[in-house]
Amino acid sequence: MIQTNRTDRPAMLIALILAQIVCAGFFVWDVVLDSGDVRNVWPIDPHFGIEAVAVIGLIAAVVFETRYLLHLLAHKARLERKVSVAASAFADVIEDHFHTWGLTRSELDIAWFTVKGFSIAEVARLRGSAEGTVKSHLNAIYRKAGVTSRGELLSLLIEDLMGETQDPSDMSAVSGTQAGLSTGHGRDAASQG
């Protein structure tokens, strides 16, 4: 649904531009027709002048909208690229962790499924193995990562997303009081600067 929403908005703009081009075509024809007779032409007939200005305005609007459309689509494409870069960078970070923990091939598989939110039963079905096997692999993963649950495993990975600059002293500030939190950050910023 989000997908159609994202593609529909430029499509509406494109449709509007096409409709305006048709209108501009009609009025250009009208102006050219009127200019054939000298009595219709400004300054004799102000109607002609107004019409000509309207046509120029319409064409300017088409040009402006087209430029805006190009800008919009370029911006959208840039954002989409950034998201995909971020997604693959996040995957790299996770991959890195898995590598550091020294997971075996099957543990690696199961770790990915777990991070992606599959339950033990689902992972067992996907890999065609028994739930007991998955559970023991999962326990090995938790042991190597130094965590005790799926939640902790995810927290460990997500921590990296929020910035690796947070050192333990900063973490202690977060776990302190509200006042401690703000002074903690202030101290941190001061020591960095």
Partner 1 sequence: MNTFRIWDPLIRLFHWSLVAGFAANAVFTDPEHSLHEWVGYAVVALVAVRLAWGLVGTRYARFASFVPTPKAVTEQITDIATGRRSVHLGHTPLGALMIFNLLFVMLLIGLTGYMMTTNTYWGIEWVEDAHEMLVTWAEISIVLHIAAVLWESWRTGVNLPRAMVSGVKTVPVDAKLVE
Write out the residues near partner 1 by the rule CB under 8 A.
7-8, 10-11, 14-15, 18, 22, 25-26, 28-29, 32-33, 69-74, 76-78
For partner 1, the closer CB: 78 or 143: 78
**d(C-alpha 187, C-alpha 84), whole Å:** 35
CA distances from 34 to 3, 31, 55, 84, 103 (A): 47, 5, 13, 55, 81
Shortest Cβ 65–partner 1 spacing (Å) = 12
Single out the residue of 65, 54, 53 nearest to residue 15, CA to CA: 65
Shortest Cβ 158–partner 1 spacing (Å) = 32
For partner 1, the closer CB: 5 or 178: 5
Shortest Cβ 69–partner 1 spacing (Å) = 6
Shortest Cβ 71–partner 1 spacing (Å) = 7
Shortest Cβ 28–partner 1 spacing (Å) = 7
For partner 1, the closer CB: 10 or 132: 10
For partner 1, the closer CB: 10 or 176: 10
Question: How would DSSP label each residue in the chain?
Answer: -HHHHHHHHHHHHHHHHHHHHHHHHHHHHHHHHHHTSGGGSTTT-HHHHHHHHHHHHHHHHHHHHHHHHHHHHHHHHHHHHHHHHHHHHHHHHHHHHHHHHT--HHHHHHHHHHHTT--HHHHHHHHT--HHHHHHHHHHHHHHHT-SSHHHHHHHHHHHHT-TT--HHHHHHHHS-HHHHHHHHHHHHHHH-
For partner 1, the closer CB: 17 or 108: 17
Shortest Cβ 178–partner 1 spacing (Å) = 46
For partner 1, the closer CB: 27 or 142: 27
